[in-house]
Structure 1
């Protein structure tokens, strides 16, 4: 049976979906755009947006009793692949900061993201 993950430490869903679903052995976190959960605001630069999207992912995993060490797959959506190197560096430090192995990953450029975000990150984590 699936358990819905809901935390005020990550932005509330802005559509008909949930922040995450816990299946016991796997946790699926919905794509996180860089909305600050306290203010609902979004920074304009890709550096701050990347940090916030990762913080939102981390908050959802924490609510499920997991950490970045449990992430097995990420998907990163960018509106501009010219931001790839910046995002890649921040992403690398995110995992190194907690001594987590790098997960499998996809990164694609998309035409647009909700609320004008430049990045969205979704993850799958395993217990």
Structure 2
């Protein structure tokens, strides 16, 4: 069954990416490894240069995953200014994911 929404949309010079769980697009299964590996997958698959990211929203099923997500963000967001970021713990995420990332970037 095809998805009922896009994972990213470009509009008025911005890329809006959502529902990024760290899934392999071919199998729709989680990328093997840790939260860090899945966060890296999400950041690598953004349809823009990471230097153009403006805002990142991160949702975690448990707040202790923040350590691995911070490690991935520090690796990818090396320039200044860093994007604005919010990070919250939530009760549950789709497919039992430990994290979900949304971002807004210049196209």
TM-score by length of 1: 0.72
Alignment deviations for residues 72-110 of structure 1 (CA, whole Å, 9 cap, x no partner): 0000011110111221111110122xx464100100001
- Kept in 2, the 8 Å contact 1:72–1:103? The answer is yes
User: Could you say what the CA RMSD is over the residues aligned between the two structures, in angstroms?
Assistant: 2.1
Structure 1 portions without partners, runs of 5+: 1-12
Structure 1 residue ranges, 4+ long, deviating more than 3 angstroms after superposition: none
Question: What is aligned with 1:82?
Answer: 64
Residue 44 of structure 1: CA displacement?
5.4
1:39 and 2:21 are equivalent in the alignment: no
Query: What is the count of residue pairs matched by the alignment?
Result: 106
TM-score by length of 2: 0.84
Residue 38 of structure 1: CA displacement?
2.8
Residues in 2 aligned to 1:110 and 1:90: alpha-carbon distance in whole angstroms: 20
Determine which structure has greater relative contact order: mean sequence separation of CA pairs < 8 Å that are 6+ residues apart, divided by chain length.
Answer: 2
| Matched residue SS, 1:102 | coil
Question: What is aligned with 1:30?
Answer: 18
**Distance verdict in 2 for CA 1:100–1:36, change over 3 Å:** farther
Question: What is aligned with 1:51?
Answer: 40
Residues in 1 aligned to 2:12 and 2:22: alpha-carbon distance in whole angstroms: 27
- Kept in 1, the 8 Å contact 2:36–2:71? The answer is no
| Matched residue SS, 1:38 | coil
Question: What is aligned with 1:10?
Answer: none
**Distance verdict in 2 for CA 1:67–1:28, change over 3 Å:** same
